[in-house]
Amino acid sequence: MEKSVVEVEVKNVLATSAGSAVFLGNDEKVFVIYVDHSVGSAINMFLHGTPKPRPQTHDLFGDVLVALGAHVERVVINDFTDTVYFARLIIGAENELQARKIVEIDARPSDSIALAVQAEAPIFVAEHVWEAVEDMSIVLKKMEDNNEGTEFPGI
């Protein structure tokens, strides 16, 4: 049986009292994953192409992938338990003989999302996760309205 997925994009990253809220979704629904402030800031910087004074951890990992001839192909948020999400980072590489290799790595969704946004790679959610998450479209709209005109802290 083939597992199906739903493609999503980062709709917004907003600061919260405990870190950052990363809103993911499409035209049908939006859901939220809460991440620590530093990863939320990194995702937001990648989204907006904000220059950084020096490379951060996600920059380092991305640069190492490029140096090794690899790239982030996609991210799949594949499960969740008790509000904890799980993800798979799918990396593709090709050697000098054009032999292609795909590597799938367990990773935190927050790091995976940051790397996907940095690499402009697609983000997917497993259908069973998508069906179970609560639609937060209205919450996102209210938060955006409340934060109108303010920049994300840390940028």
| pLDDT at 93 > cutoff 80 | yes
- Mean pLDDT in residue range 45-65: 88
What is the set of domains in the chain, with CATH numbers? 5-146 (3.10.690.10)
If phi over 0 gives left and psi between -120 and 50 gives alpha, with beta otherwise, what is residue 121? Answer: beta
| pLDDT at 97 > cutoff 80 | no
Band of pLDDT at residue 52, cut at 50, 70 and 90: confident
Residues 6+ apart with CB under 8 A from 118: 46, 58, 59, 62, 72
Q: How far apart are CA 116 and CA 44, in angstroms?
A: 12
> How many alpha carbons fall within 13 Å on the CB side of residue 25?
23
Tokens at 123, concatenated: 């983000």
Band of pLDDT at residue 148, cut at 50, 70 and 90: low
pLDDT of residue 154: 41
> How many alpha carbons fall within 13 Å on the CB side of residue 6?
20
pTM of this structure: 0.86
Compare 114 and 155 and report the one with higher pLDDT: 114
Compare 150 and 64 and report the one with higher pLDDT: 64
Cα 110 off chain centre by: 6
> Where do runs of H (alpha helix) occur along the chain?
37-48, 57-67, 109-119, 127-132, 137-146
pLDDT of residue 131: 95
| pLDDT at 151 > cutoff 50 | no
pLDDT of residue 99: 78
- Mean pLDDT in residue range 105-130: 96
Average pLDDT, the chain: 88
